Amino acid sequence: MGSELPPPTQQAEGEVVVRHEPLPRTPHLRVRQDQGHTVLEFRGEIDIAAADEIVPHLDRATGHTDARIVLDLSQVEFFDCSGLRLLYRARQRVLERQGQVQLVCTHPLTLRVLRITGLARLLPPQPTLDAALNQPEATSGPV
C-alpha cells in the first residue's frame, strides 16, 4: 500500500502519460472527488478496528496544503470514540494546512455524541453532502 505514485511513463514524440493511484475504497471508507472537494465517506461501524484501517487514507487525503475535505458520515451505522478521534485528527490536519473541512451527519445518536463532546461546535454538521459542498468557506472553529 505505497503512498507514492509511480513515475510518469515517457511516450514517443514527447507525450507523457501519468499513472494515477486509484482512490481508496475499503470496507469502512470510500474516498472520491466531488466539486473540487475530497469526500471521505465513512461506512458501516466506525470502531477501533475500522479506525486503524482508515487512518492512512485519512492522513493522505488531509496532508495537502489548502485541501478541501468533506467528512461524510451519512453511511455510518455505529460510531464510537475512535470515530471521534478520526474526525478531530482530520480537522486538525486540514486546518493546520490552511484547508477547509466540512462534516455531513444526520444520524441522531452520532449527532448527540458530537454535541456532548463539543465536536459539533468545532465541526458543525451539515444535513447533506450538497449542503457541505456548497459552504462558501470552512465553517469549523479555530484550531
- For the chain, give every domain's residue range: 23-133
SS3 101: strand
At 13 the pLDDT is: 55
Q: Which of 76 and 18 is assigned the larger pLDDT? A: 76
Calculate mean pLDDT across residues 4-24: 46
State the pairing for strand pair 9-10/100-104: unpaired
Instruction: Give yes or no for a contact between 56 and 32, defined as CB atoms under 8 angstroms apart.
Output: no
At 23 the pLDDT is: 60
Give the global pTM.
Answer: 0.79
Confidence of residue 19 (pLDDT cuts 50, 70, 90): very low
Q: Which of 7-21, 111-125, 129-143 has the lowest mean pLDDT?
A: 7-21
pLDDT of 93 higher than 70: yes
Confidence of residue 56 (pLDDT cuts 50, 70, 90): very high
Calculate mean pLDDT across residues 70-80: 96
Confidence of residue 114 (pLDDT cuts 50, 70, 90): very high
Q: Residue 96 and residue 92: Cα distance in Å, rounded?
A: 6
Calculate mean pLDDT across residues 51-64: 96
Q: Residue 143 and residue 99: Cα distance in Å, rounded?
A: 12
Cα–Cα distances in angstroms (integers) from residue 64 to residues 86, 98, 138, in the given order: 17, 9, 16
State the pairing for strand pair 37-46/68-79: parallel
Tell me which CATH homologous superfamily contains domain 23-133.
Answer: STAS domain (3.30.750.24)
End-to-end CA distance of the chain: 31
pLDDT of 102 higher than 60: yes
Nearest C-alpha neighbor of 93 from the set 136, 38, 36, 11: 38
Instruction: Give yes or no for a contact between 41 and 50, defined as CB atoms under 8 angstroms apart.
Output: no
Instruction: Give yes or no for a contact between 27 and 47, defined as CB atoms under 8 angstroms apart.
Output: no
